[in-house]
Chain A
Amino acid sequence: MDRQIRRLGLALLVLFLLLFAQVNYLQVFASQRLADNPANATRQLIAEYEVDRGSILAADGRTVLATSRRSPGALRYQRRYPQGPLYAGITGYYSVIYGRSGLEQAFNSYLNGSAPELLPQTLADQILGRPKRGASVITTIEPALQKAAAQALGSQPGAVVALDPRTGNVLALFANPTYDPNLLASQDPREVRRAWSRLINDPDKPLLSRAYQELYPPGSTFKLVTAAAALQNGYTPDSLWPNPPVLQLPQTTHVLENFGGEHCLGGAPKITTAQALTVSCNVVFGEIGLALGADALASQARAFGFAPDAASGDVPFALPFQEGVFPDPSYFTRRLPAVALSAIGQDNVAANPLQMALVAAAIANGGVEMAPRLVTEVRDPSGRVIQRFPPREFGIPISPQTAAELTRMMVSVVQSGTGTAAQIPGVTVAGKTGTAQHGVGRPPHAWFVSFAPAENPQVVVAVIVLDGGSLGSDATGGRVAAPIAKAVMEAALGG
């Protein structure tokens, strides 16, 4: 009997070793994979809301874009966006079911306290039984400008970006339509699913910011890039160009017309580069484009940050920035007319307000393009700065002389050209309008790119109003977008 009892003991020991192996598998080897299983959502939700997630603050360090507060419900903390839709394009959303976007995603490890810099404090909190606390993110956003941008845009679809050209600081970043991130942060999964399905099925795609994530034809605002290329390649503001009523395009019977079919400057036989920009003459800029060629245009666009296609791009930014697009020169080899069209911001050229604001900022900053900066620093819960993000230079796309010349040309656009609606009494404003066609029979997108004061630029503002905004097919950049830019610049300079 004893032999059998010993064998039984051995057999039972083997069974318990199997159990031990299995719990090791579940709790160590497969533990992360199992814990991250989507069906374990409730536990993930509870764990996420256990953390006193850090705040996202405006430049003043006081205005709260996103924060956490104690929740009376089953989950410990509740994410809150006090201004709701106003800053959604910056904060992004924070949903345990659908993940994160915006700064909530980009700075998640700081906000949720898992960044290595926060380890000593996290350990201390754990020992003391306090909830885990995340770090706060200080942005460059100026609440006054953000509000002015939202107010000036009103209910029109479009976007506004304001930058400080000296630092690249993003002062305002607003787009319509926007959404209320509070709905996706709800603790009621049904409410979150309902809000999500409404947002994700909305044809206007409110979850993607039109300020920096979508692309549109930049139209005449792109003439700034073309003009920059001309000045960098030996032409001057006073270079004279033939001024026919229409431009006969090479390799085709098509012609390039001016806006509204007009003859620029009352039909003068020749006009200067500066005059062509002031009145936004398509025919002359088509000529300039053809004279420079695709290589010069593409390399100038690249220097400003434009990418050869939507999948590439090298402008550093805290948020998923979709850089503007100017096709690779090889694209133009058998498409010479496309060179003329691209020079006026049509054909396959694409941009968004952030990209055009960067172009204007490089001009305003004497030719030095600063990378857009949205976050200045990260502070731990006790207020100590644990990470700083100093201003960074993106590149020098143009010489100081070209910058000065372009600034003078842009000033005349506002003083006597297409952008007079952006004039601010007592301030010299530099600007460029754009009225971009996109599809037959659809109202044009209205653009305005500007900065002020021209002699000492402090703020750059780029505006797009989609489908003509409130003016529909009568819209032009000067009539619809320029007043919005003016309002934001006034808010920046008046404050």
Chain B
Amino acid sequence: MSRAIRTETRPGHGTALALTLLALVLSVGAYTLVGLGKKGHVPVDLALYGSIFAVGYLGAHLLIRRLAPHADPALFPAAAVLTGLGFSMIFRLSGGLAAEQATWIVVGLLAFAGTLVVVRDHRQLDAYTYTIGFLGLALLLLPIVPGIGRTINGARLWVRIGPVGFQPSEVGKVLIVVFLASYLAAKRELLAVAAGRLGPLRLPPLKHLAPVLFAWAASLAVLFLQKDLGASLLYFAIFVVTLWVATGRAAYLVIGLALFALGAWIGYQMFAHVQLRVDIWLHALAPSKVFDQGYGQVAQAQFGLATGGLVGAGLGRGSPWLIPFASTDFIFAAIGEELGLLGTTAVLLLFVVLVGKGLKTALEAADAFGKLLATGLAASLGLQAFVIVGGVTRLIPLTGVTLPFVSYGGSSLVSNFVLLGLLVRISSGPAHRAGDARIRSGLRAQAAEGG
């Protein structure tokens, strides 16, 4: 924490503009190709969707330039390509879903802009540790509340209040990451104190294990009450990773893994749906089961990816509608069918860029909270992408989470754009404005505390 708050200029806004234009061309191009491949002509809504992307992406670029001038030039364009690619694939699967997704992209970009406007300095968030933590936890458990919780596809991870339905776990994810970063930035030195040794591991005092156990129990509760395997896994992983980064104690990682193994074992013993997921993973292509529900989903994803092969069937030329939930959980397989290994590799690389740039942001952040926040946000993106892509490709058992920026879904898209906004903010450093005394005094207070 000895580094001064960075003020040097990034290598040019030209790079950011070029990358944003590239993202725009790729997004609108993919969408146009879907129309050509599917119907043989340019999509009729090209002007509408094309201008949404043009205004949205270029507007975001200008806003970043103004409010976060030192931001990493690749962060937004990488997410923009993923968003455009996902939109094209959703349009390819259903025009109606695409119209909804376009609306959510607009809302997501507005949320991104709102994040940059409101959060002029990420350390503002550090002031509301427990409020944010409480909100996150409340959102997490909201689907359990009778009357507003909805069970969809066997998992209770939806909330419907009046006409508005959303997935609180997606929104909660960002809040939990902020809470963890804030909490651990404050407590990290305390938690890092070693009380004893176990072989090469320095063990923390027993009382400091309480938060780990609490997070573990919360994750299990999500699994118990909501049957949401993916979110449960993700929360716990983010927690353990952030704790380890904060304290530098490998013991937390080891204990976390042990608890994860224990939780997985308990889950497997207690829940038929967990056993089913494992059986599907192992026997998706067994001739006697391949047409059964669940098995068929995973099998179709394998067939779609395999039929796509190296270069894919071409946008609009494959049969991705054969894959159940192709626009949400299985969108990676749909992309693989029509864009082949080249397309899937591109998606993986874009996530590597996003996560890599996120972690680079963490390394360059001047304060502990910023480091932990960027780490948590980047890790949650990376882990979520790994969990769903691994599940779809049968590398690991499938746990239903969305593929960030790509999958259809408002909650996921909006919360990931907020997440992106925070990363952009941290990577640029605080926006300095004359007369913004509140932030400056906050900075001073922070510097005094963290220094």
Q: How far apart sit A1 and B376, CA to CA, in the bound complex (Å)?
A: 13
Counting residue pairs across A and B whose Cβ atoms lie within 8 Å, the total is 129
Taking CB atoms, residues of chain B closer than 8 Å to A46 are: 319
Q: How far apart sit A6 and B290, CA to CA, in the bound complex (Å)?
A: 42
Q: How far apart sit A37 and B248, CA to CA, in the bound complex (Å)?
A: 49
**Contact assessment for B352 and A37 in the assembled complex, using a CB-CB cutoff below 8 Å:** no
Q: How far apart sit A349 and B36, CA to CA, in the bound complex (Å)?
A: 63
**Contact assessment for A19 and B348 in the assembled complex, using a CB-CB cutoff below 8 Å:** yes
Taking CB atoms, residues of chain B closer than 8 Å to A9 are: 355-356, 359
Residue of chain B at shortest CB distance from A10: B359
Interface size class of A (residues with CB under 8 A): 35 or more
**Contact assessment for B307 and A43 in the assembled complex, using a CB-CB cutoff below 8 Å:** yes
**Contact assessment for B356 and A43 in the assembled complex, using a CB-CB cutoff below 8 Å:** no
Interface hit among B19-27, B138-146, B216-224, B387-395: B387-395
Instruction: Identify which of A5, A13, A27, A38 contacts B352 (C-beta below 8 A).
Output: A13
**Contact assessment for B290 and A39 in the assembled complex, using a CB-CB cutoff below 8 Å:** yes
Taking CB atoms, residues of chain A closer than 8 Å to B305 are: 23, 26-27, 31, 34
**Contact assessment for A26 and B359 in the assembled complex, using a CB-CB cutoff below 8 Å:** no
CB distance from B246 to the nearest CB of A (A): 7
CB distance from B356 to the nearest CB of A (A): 7
Instruction: Identify which of B299, B382, B395 contacts A39 (C-beta below 8 A).
Output: B299
Taking CB atoms, residues of chain B closer than 8 Å to A4 are: 244-245, 248
Residue of chain A at shortest CB distance from B379: A8
Known: A23-B345, A30-B306. A39 touches B386 (CB 8 A): no
Taking CB atoms, residues of chain A closer than 8 Å to B345 are: 20, 23
Taking CB atoms, residues of chain B closer than 8 Å to A47 are: 307
Type the 1/0 row for A1-18, where 1 means its CB is closer than 8 Å to any CB of B: 111111011001101101
Taking CB atoms, residues of chain A closer than 8 Å to B299 are: 37, 39
Interface hit among B267-275, B336-344, B428-436: B336-344
Known: A12-B379, A27-B310. A20 touches B244 (CB 8 A): no
Taking CB atoms, residues of chain A closer than 8 Å to B128 are: none
**Contact assessment for B348 and A39 in the assembled complex, using a CB-CB cutoff below 8 Å:** no
Majority-rule SS of A interface residues:
helix
Type the 1/0 row for B20-44, where 1 means its CB is closer than 8 Å to any CB of A: 0000000000000000100010000
CB distance from B366 to the nearest CB of A (A): 12
Instruction: Identify which of A5, A13, A24, A37 contacts B303 (C-beta below 8 A).
Output: A37
Taking CB atoms, residues of chain A closer than 8 Å to B36 are: 129
Known: A1-B245, A13-B352. A43 touches B303 (CB 8 A): yes
**Contact assessment for B368 and A34 in the assembled complex, using a CB-CB cutoff below 8 Å:** no
**Contact assessment for A23 and B344 in the assembled complex, using a CB-CB cutoff below 8 Å:** yes
B264 part of interface (Cβ distance < 8 Å): no
Q: How far apart sit A22 and B305, CA to CA, in the bound complex (Å)?
A: 11
Taking CB atoms, residues of chain B closer than 8 Å to A32 are: 306
**Contact assessment for B390 and A22 in the assembled complex, using a CB-CB cutoff below 8 Å:** yes
Type the 1/0 row for B149-164, where 1 means its CB is closer than 8 Å to any CB of A: 0000000000000000
B88 part of interface (Cβ distance < 8 Å): no
Q: How far apart sit A129 and B340, CA to CA, in the bound complex (Å)?
A: 18
CB distance from B353 to the nearest CB of A (A): 11
CB distance from A46 to the nearest CB of B (A): 5
Residues of B bordering A, CB below 8 Å: 36, 40, 241, 244-246, 248, 285, 287, 290-291, 299, 302-310, 319, 322, 336, 340-341, 344-345, 348, 351-352, 355-356, 359, 362-363, 368, 371-372, 375, 379, 382-383, 386, 389-390, 393-395
Known pairs A20-B345, A39-B291 / 20 extra A-B pairs, C-beta < 8 Å: A1-B248, A4-B245, A5-B375, A8-B375, A13-B356, A18-B390, A18-B395, A19-B395, A22-B393, A22-B394, A23-B341, A27-B306, A27-B336, A31-B307, A34-B306, A35-B309, A37-B285, A39-B303, A46-B319, A47-B307
The contact sample of 8 A-B pairs, CB cut-off 8 A, is: A4-B248, A5-B245, A15-B386, A16-B351, A19-B386, A23-B393, A27-B341, A43-B307
Residues of A bordering B, CB below 8 Å: 1-6, 8-9, 12-13, 15-16, 18-20, 22-24, 26-28, 30-35, 37-40, 42-43, 46-47, 129
The list of the 9 closest CB pairs from A to B, nearest first, reads: A34-B306, A40-B303, A4-B245, A27-B341, A39-B290, A31-B306, A12-B382, A9-B359, A26-B305
